[in-house]
């Protein structure tokens, strides 16, 4: 437990070294430092994990971050089941992605290479701070830190204006969410005077129902921004402007799950508010469905994965909303495996295709990129819920939890899961099957990625396949190890268990349904999308989906345009005639009055004498009434 501070310290050191010496260190050195510090963190995280498993969690306080009278915000780390699991995900997946990046970003000049790794290390540091903090304020520091790194990395290729816009969009949308988070923290502080998790959850009785609903909804606003839920999800697909490993690490595996972590961490509050839970569930469900439907007709490989991420995040929120906190966190873990895998696989494909991201221009890559193909296939199977892959187990658990909560939600979620399988198989078919649709030059250049990229793929592929076994339902001979582990650190968690007989029957239904569904989907997508020529013109409803339900345009019309016109009004009318009017008016008044006053200086001796005499009169008067005047002045001042 005493090692906890080392976990974020290593990436911080890596950030400082890589950031400060990026121009003098060689690329291989930067890569070794950047990956090495994360590996060190991972090793310590493993030690911490087993420590927690054996001895339970603990809070370690280092110093007081804010210390005002009786109001104290300690700088403390809380290592318990939840945070130790997140530590493993962040540092483990993070390490693999760092290794992958050393190869993927190798074309960059040394200075930018160092900058990239320093940002990545800073991100890992912030994310660790977010997860390890023992109160909402420390979490907020990490929360802002990851937002900053996300911004920096989306706009990593800052010479492209579109990427900068995407970065700004992500930043602004995150700010909206952060405001909600911040307000929630203020609310907690004003009511309880402390932000420590332990103290807050111990004093929930002091909060009224309104307080709890308000706080949890505001926290959820923060989660919406960070985890890309309706209505703040549009930044995530645009965030694909960043390098692909960044998309894998930040925008799939870790940062976007911060919202889930936060709600899981605050489960003691959410459990007390039915309204908030319902809101979370509905928003999650709606986001899952909307994003999945959009993903059906996207042609950019990373965009599809981005919408898929949004959709999967929706699933996680759905799980949290129905009270299955441990299941939501479990899905975070499995999702981190297979989505990181898919992104890295996509990166490998993009790498092989010399930067091409349009899947209509790919095809038939199965032969040329065998390792990428097989690992990508594992990822697709996992996310589609192929039996006994990690995705199957976690998603089944979510569906079962939803089923016992609300049947309508269940059918929508199940439909969304089918959509997930469809768009993932469409992606798989378009990229790896059929004939090659790109240019001759690209075809000539096709090659399998170097080992630094394929090894992380293989590791993640294996994890995607078997990562779910920690939670294998008893019906299939497993045991809820993870639920038990997480449940040990979570008080008040409703018992969501799939161990009873009724659940077991549903498991078999789901298993059968999934197998049949996947076979049909496989056959159908192979027929439609494993083709030599692909027409990417969409019409009718497909066009609506391909254009993402026109949500960006809607936001543009409803929020951006009115804001612009208000800003234009303020700038052109209010600023010009109002503010400038006042400012210039003062100037004009001074000018006018001085022009009038100047006339007093007529050069006429007569008028000078007149003023002189008047002044003398005044002086006489003042002198004679000095006592009254002094009293008057004393009264004023």
Contact footprint for another protein (CB under 8 A): 601-607, 609-610, 613-614, 616-617, 620-621, 624
| CB of 550 or CB of 608, closer to another protein | 608
Distance CA 360, CA 538 (A): 13
Considering the complex, what minimum distance in angstroms separates the CB of residue 630 from another protein?
18
| CB of 520 or CB of 616, closer to another protein | 616
Contact residues for 261 (Cβ-Cβ < 8 A; gap 6+): 82, 86, 130, 131, 329, 332
Only one residue has tokens 């187990």, namely 393
| CB of 582 or CB of 616, closer to another protein | 616
Beta bridge partners, 66, equal: 73
| CB of 491 or CB of 609, closer to another protein | 609
Under 8 Å between Cβ of 324 and 350: no
Considering the complex, what minimum distance in angstroms separates the CB of residue 603 from another protein?
3
Considering the complex, what minimum distance in angstroms separates the CB of residue 587 from another protein?
26
Considering the complex, what minimum distance in angstroms separates the CB of residue 614 from another protein?
5
Considering the complex, what minimum distance in angstroms separates the CB of residue 588 from another protein?
25
Could you tell me which of 106, 125, 123, 128 has the C-alpha nearest to residue 30? 106
Distance CA 493, CA 433 (A): 45
Could you tell me which of 493, 380, 511, 475 has the C-alpha nearest to residue 433? 380
- The number of residues in the chain equals 637
**H-helix segments, 491-579:** 501-529, 540-546, 551-555, 561-569
Distances (CA, A) of 554 to 169, 304, 414, 514, 548: 15, 21, 28, 36, 10
| CB of 605 or CB of 633, closer to another protein | 605
Considering the complex, what minimum distance in angstroms separates the CB of residue 566 from another protein?
53
Name the token pair of 179. Answer: 């405001």
Contact residues for 491 (Cβ-Cβ < 8 A; gap 6+): 201, 268
Distances (CA, A) of 559 to 32, 121, 170, 171: 45, 35, 16, 16
| CB of 573 or CB of 613, closer to another protein | 613
Beta bridge partners, 59, equal: 78
Considering the complex, what minimum distance in angstroms separates the CB of residue 628 from another protein?
13
Q: What is residue 592's three-state secondary structure?
A: helix
Residue 522: Cβ-neighbour burial (10 angstroms; 0-12, 13-18, 19+): middle
* Run of H or E including 62: strand 58-68
CA dihedral 448, 449, 455, 461 (to 10 degrees): -60
| CB of 589 or CB of 621, closer to another protein | 621
Name the token pair of 226. Answer: 């960070």
Considering the complex, what minimum distance in angstroms separates the CB of residue 634 from another protein?
23
* DSSP classification of residue 448: P
Beta bridge partners, 72, equal: 67
Considering the complex, what minimum distance in angstroms separates the CB of residue 570 from another protein?
47
Alpha carbons within 13 angstroms on the beta-carbon side of residue 385 total: 32
| CB of 569 or CB of 621, closer to another protein | 621
| CB of 599 or CB of 633, closer to another protein | 599
Q: What is residue 356's three-state secondary structure?
A: coil
Considering the complex, what minimum distance in angstroms separates the CB of residue 637 from another protein?
27
| CB of 24 or CB of 607, closer to another protein | 607
Considering the complex, what minimum distance in angstroms separates the CB of residue 626 from another protein?
12
| CB of 439 or CB of 604, closer to another protein | 604
Distance CA 158, CA 154 (A): 9
Considering the complex, what minimum distance in angstroms separates the CB of residue 632 from another protein?
19
């Amino acid at each position: 437990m005493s090692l906890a501070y080392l976990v974020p310290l290593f990436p911080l050191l890596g950030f400082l070294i890589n950031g400060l010496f990026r121009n003098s260190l060689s690329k291989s050195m930067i890569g070794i430092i950047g990956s090495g510090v994360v590996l060190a963190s991972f090793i310590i995280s493993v030690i911490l994990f087993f420590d927690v498993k054996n001895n339970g969690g603990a809070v370690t306080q280092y110093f007081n971050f804010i210390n005002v009278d009786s109001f104290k915000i300690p700088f403390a780390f809380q290592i318990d089941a939840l945070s130790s699991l997140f530590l493993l995900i962040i540092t483990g997946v993070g390490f693999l992605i760092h290794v992958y990046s050393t190869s993927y970003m190798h074309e960059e000049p040394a200075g930018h290479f160092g900058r990239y790794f320093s940002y990545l290390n800073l991100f890992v540091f912030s994310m660790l701070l977010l997860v390890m903090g023992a109160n909402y304020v420390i979490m907020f520091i990490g929360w802002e830190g990851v937002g900053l790194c996300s911004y920096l990395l989306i706009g990593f290729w800052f010479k492209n204006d579109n990427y900068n816009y995407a970065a700004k969009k992500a930043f602004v949308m995150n700010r909206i969410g952060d405001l909600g988070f911040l307000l929630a923290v203020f609310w907690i502080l004003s009511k309880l005077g402390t932000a420590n998790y332990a103290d807050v959850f111990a004093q929930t009785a002091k909060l009224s129902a309104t307080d709890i609903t308000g706080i949890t909804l505001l926290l959820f606003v923060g989660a919406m921004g960070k985890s890309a839920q309706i209505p703040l999800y549009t930044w995530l697909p645009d965030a694909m402007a960043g390098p692909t490993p960044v998309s894998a690490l930040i925008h799939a595996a870790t940062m976007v799950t911060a919202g889930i972590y936060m709600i899981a961490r605050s489960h003691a509050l959410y459990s007390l508010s039915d309204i908030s839970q319902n809101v979370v569930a509905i928003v999650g469900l709606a986001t899952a469905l909307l994003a999945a439907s959009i993903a059906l007709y996207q042609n950019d490989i990373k965009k599809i994965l981005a919408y898929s991420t949004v959709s999967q995040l929706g699933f996680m929120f759905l799980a949290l909303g129905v009270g299955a906190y441990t299941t939501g966190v479990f899905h975070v873990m499995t999702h981190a495996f297979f989505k990181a895998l898919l992104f890295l696989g996509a990166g490998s494909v993009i790498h092989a295709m010399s930067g091409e991201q349009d899947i209509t221009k790919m095809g038939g890559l199965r032969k040329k990129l065998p390792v990428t193909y097989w690992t990508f296939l594992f990822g697709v199977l996992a996310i589609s819920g192929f039996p006994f892959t990690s995705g199957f187990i976690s998603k089944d658990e979510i569906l079962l939890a939803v089923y016992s909560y609300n049947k309508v939600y269940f059918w929508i979620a199940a439909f969304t899961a089918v959509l997930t399988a469809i768009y993932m198989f469409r992606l798989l078919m378009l990229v790896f099957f059929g004939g090659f649709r790109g240019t001759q030059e690209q075809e000539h250049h096709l090659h399998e990625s170097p080992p630094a990229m394929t090894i992380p793929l293989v590791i993640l592929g294996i994890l995607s396949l078997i990562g779910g076994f920690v939670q294998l339902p008893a019906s299939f001979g497993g045991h809820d190890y993870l639920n038990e582990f997480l449940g040990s650190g979570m008080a008040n968690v409703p018992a969501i268990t799939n161990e009873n007989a009724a659940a077991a029957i549903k498991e078999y239904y789901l298993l059968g349904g999934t197998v049949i569904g996947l076979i049909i989907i496989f056959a159908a997508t192979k027929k439609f999308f494993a083709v030599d020529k692909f027409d990417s013109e969409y019409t009718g409803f497909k066009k609506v989906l391909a254009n993402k339900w026109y949500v960006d345009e809607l936001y543009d019309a409803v929020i951006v345009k009115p804001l612009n016109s208000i800003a234009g009004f303020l700038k052109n009318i209010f600023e010009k005639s109002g503010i400038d009017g006042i400012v210039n008016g003062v100037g004009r008044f001074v000018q006018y009055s001085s022009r009038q006053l100047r006339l007093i200086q007529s050069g006429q001796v007569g008028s000078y004498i007149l003023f002189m005499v008047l002044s003398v009169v005044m002086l006489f008067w003042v002198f004679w009434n000095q006592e009254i005047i002094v009293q008057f002045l004393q009264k004023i001042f």
